[in-house]
Copies of this chain bind each other. A is one copy, B any other.
Amino acid sequence: MKKKTTIYDIANALNITVSTVSRALSGFPAISDTTRKAVVDMAKKLNYSPNKLASALKSGKTYIIGVIVPSVEAHFFASIIHCIEDGLKDSGYRVIIYQSNETVENEINGVKTLLEAQVDGIMASLSLETKDVSHFAEIIEQNKPLILFDRVNTGLNVPTITLDDFKAGYMATKHLIDKGYKKIAFVTTAHQVKIFTDRLEGYKAALADQKLPVITDHMILGGLSIKDGHFGAGELMRNHKPDAIIAGDDFTALGLIQKLKEIGATPPEIGVIGFANEAFSAYITPSLSTIDQHASQMGKECANMFLKMIGQKNPYSKIEHVILNPSIIERESTDPSTSSIQL
């Protein structure tokens, strides 16, 4: 095993102090030209490769960006990260990823870890648990760009890239009403994260606009997963018999569909629509209608925003909020006219 040459080796070889070596290599003025030449020559002789991080610390840039997401297992976040990487490729920035796994404790560790790794900036989408966001303040204090995307918090005065989630909830509900469904339930998370409460408000507003009652028992607030969807469909069908169900995400919709098949109410007999357009959503039977959250555009906007911010002395001199428009992908699970084929 070859040991890497360090400035300590150079110092030993020349019998001078490490700090002299360091100052000679970094162009510190108070070092004589003779000493500087001796150090540089010895560095070459010993095949010394300067620690890039050390130079980075000096220039203040590592060209590394940290991205914190709840989980890369969600295709939505994985897509966003790919598009952030794409958007930053030409500028030489590279992306490292940290998962909060939906806990605020991990998210705090993520901020610490990425700052210790000397990232030039951080992009983050909050965990379901996150209410207090003070752990992000250190990034702003270091004058590094912080951008929040998708799951954001107004407690931080930083740029955000979000979807119009009220509109997304409204759109999903209105679509079901247009397809003839009238008793529409919603299975989503109990966590008070803005995007989820916004969607629920959009759902209520769409029902109200169509003079349909908003029924508390039609809102199942639990978690977002296949298991939660399965449970939610069971609860709803046993007690409140909706004719359509909105799922908080496509995984939850998978669970809903599974349960509905088990009890002989396969969609679109009971309409089902999800959120996120996961990779599988077009391929399950029935294929799943869903709200497209435009992951690729969100990733691209994050990259652009970062490049704008990093170019400024004060990245927070102008704070922009980008709001993307959702769109709907209509498939078999909400189309009663395909019912005979499915059943």
Contacts and interface: CB of A to CB of B under 8 A. Distances in A.
Interface of A: 1-4, 19, 22-23, 52-53, 56, 62, 64, 66, 71-73, 75, 78-79, 81-82, 85, 94-99, 101, 109-110, 112-114, 116-119, 140-143, 226, 251, 254, 257-258, 278-280, 283-285, 314, 316
How many subunits of this chain does the assembly comprise? 2
A85 B64 contact: no
Contacts of A314: 1
Contact of A73 (B64, B75, B98): B75
B73 A78 contact: yes
Nearest to A73: B78
B96 A72 contact: no
A30 to B, nearest CB: 9
Given A1-B316, A285-B284, A101 B85 contact: yes
B141 A2 contact: yes
Contacts of A140: 1
Given A2-B141, A73-B79, A314-B1, A53 B118 contact: yes
Contact of A82 (B101, B119, B226, B280): B101
Given A53-B118, A64-B116, A254-B283, A97 B94 contact: no
